[in-house]
Amino acid sequence: MCNLYAVNTTQEELARLADALDVDLGNFSGMASVFPDYTAPVLRLDGNGNRRLEMMRWGFPPVGPNPSFVTNVRNLSSNYWKGWLKPEWRVIVPATSFSEYMPQPDPVTKKKPVCWFAMKDGSSSARPLFGFAGIWRPWMGTRGTKADPVEGEHKLFSFLTTDPNSIVKPIHEKAMPVILTPDKWQAWLTTADPVAMQLPLPGEKLHVARVGPKGDSDELQAAYDAEYASLQEAIRI
């Protein structure tokens, strides 16, 4: 279950690739880590069918007795989700990579490293933009942290998961996000049959881009490597 992704791109590039008529992203300048309850860009169609980029908060309200906000949606046959799968509640969640914890902890740090997956493009450093197939809804209440609560109406999003492909399965055997390349975005936003698009991205289009930090950036990787080296030195001492 993906609970951490990145959207490392500029607002201008995101707007260009999304081909959005209306852009309301504030001072967005890229995010190396997007955790549940963070606000992040999404793309949806407005009432006139025009593409709109805006910020929404990650996580639907809890379902049933589960106290956690719902970041990933799998069971599309559930009556709870059917209403939110209508085209007016569909979004694309732009991303450049997503992560899952490695199955085994590192012998030095004793923690499970994070494995980052990105689209292939022939370069180990580049991160082509893709999108998760998502849904959104309005919600009244309090979100954010105890130190910085945000009260009022929120726009919340979650995204679909499906069976893992050959690249993700060795790391996380239960599921992976539904990934759509930009040429498929309009289909998700308008299709009458969302279930037909709940498919894994072919394995040959994905690769492991980074292993280690809880963020997909060179700066966070350098900090992680320095900490790892320090721990190795402490073990030798």
pLDDT more than 90, % of the chain = 78
- Residue ranges of domains in the chain, CATH in brackets: 5-97+121-204 (3.90.1680.10)
pLDDT at 124: 55
d(CA 14, CA 25): 10
Query: Out of 92-101, 123-132, 169-178, which region has the weakest mean confidence (pLDDT)?
Result: 123-132
Give the whole-angstrom CA distance, residue 84 versus residue 76.
Answer: 10
pLDDT band at 237 (very low <50, low <70, confident <90, very high): low
Dig out the tokens for 81 from the structure.
Answer: 């989700």
173 has a pLDDT exceeding 90: yes
What is the distance between the alpha carbons of residues 98 and 180, in angstroms, rounded to a whole number? 13
pTM of the model: 0.94
Average pLDDT on 158-181 reads 97
Q: Per-residue pLDDT tens for 66-106?
A: 778 999 999 999 888 989 999 999 999 999 999 999 999 98
